[in-house]
Amino acid sequence: MSNDTITHKYGTVTFGQVNWDAFADNNGAVNYVKATATFRTQLEAEAFAFRFAKSLRVRKTTLSADYEGAWKQYGYVTFEACLGASNVNGGVNETGMKRIRGFFKALANMSITPVRVKHCANSVDFSW
């Protein structure tokens, strides 16, 4: 997998790097965790996503971006887990926690260290 970078007007993209963040609800409780990785090619993204168990729901998609005046398509992989409590899950989302633990464990088994990137004001500290 590639692990090079490009810089554009909004920042720098490091290909092959897994970025993650956790987000809070209005009460300050963690309710959502998201991780992403951008790859130079669709094939690299597909190969990366394929390394995870289906139950973790790691998805490959396409990211289109304007880079140096031309639209380019890159491979993009996402992982998302909701931790929101509801009447359906009895106030505790054990499935979401299990998926988060499984995702970060799989990364560790691949010797990949995810990078914490705080995306917005409701980003919160979180450990699994």
Cα Rg of the chain, angstroms = 16
Question: CA–CA separation, 56 vs 37, rounded Å?
Answer: 15
Q: Which residue bears the tokens 């009460």?
A: 27
Mean pLDDT estimate for the chain = 85
Give residue 89's pLDDT band: very low, low, confident or very high (50, 70, 90). Answer: low
Domains within the chain, CATH numbers bracketed = 5-116 (3.30.1360)
The predicted structure's pLDDT at residue 85? 67
Q: How confident is the model at residue 1 (pLDDT cuts 50, 70, 90)?
A: very low
Amino acid at 13: V
